[in-house]
Amino acid sequence: ELPSADVLSRQRYAIVVADWNSEITHALAQGAIDTLLKHGVKEEHIDVMHVPGTVELTYGAALYVNGRKNFGRRKLADAVIVIGCVIQGDTPHFDYVCQSVTQGVTALNAQEGRADGFHLPNTCPVIFSVLTTLDKQQALDRAGGRLGNKGVEGAVTAIKMANLL
């Protein structure tokens, strides 16, 4: 179950999307945006940041998590969705990229914040919506093809995680 549209209309969501494999990542981002809007998030409460590639997703997300990028008047994101696509090739580069972004997102979700001198868990979940596929067709199948759009799943997860507390 998702929160009411009334609750979601007050929340803010950031989407950090890698432009590498843009045919796939932009379709995933659109699926996430459409889902957030469908459930009541206001269009002006969705911020999309583009970064060159999947490795850079962690830095983009960290800008929102740490409050350096916000929605004006210091209103922070309630959740950040990172969207990328890594397709396996003939070199170990695939493994390094996947490991880098996975560890980066995990670290962001585990970091502690500070409020009035008390240590608090990170109050902004980072949702991992990165496809790691063996070939381009597998990615297309998950970006609006026969297996749906994993960006939609990322948005639903973001809504649920932003409303845990």
Which residues are marked as active site?
Answer: 93
Q: How far apart are CA 41 and CA 79, in angstroms?
A: 12
Q: How far apart are CA 131 and CA 19, in angstroms?
A: 13
Name the token pair of 144. 């609006």
Give, in degrees to the nearest 5, the angle at Cα 24 between 23 and 28: 125
- Which one-letter amino acid corresponds to residue 6? D
Q: How far apart are CA 132 and CA 82, in angstroms?
A: 13
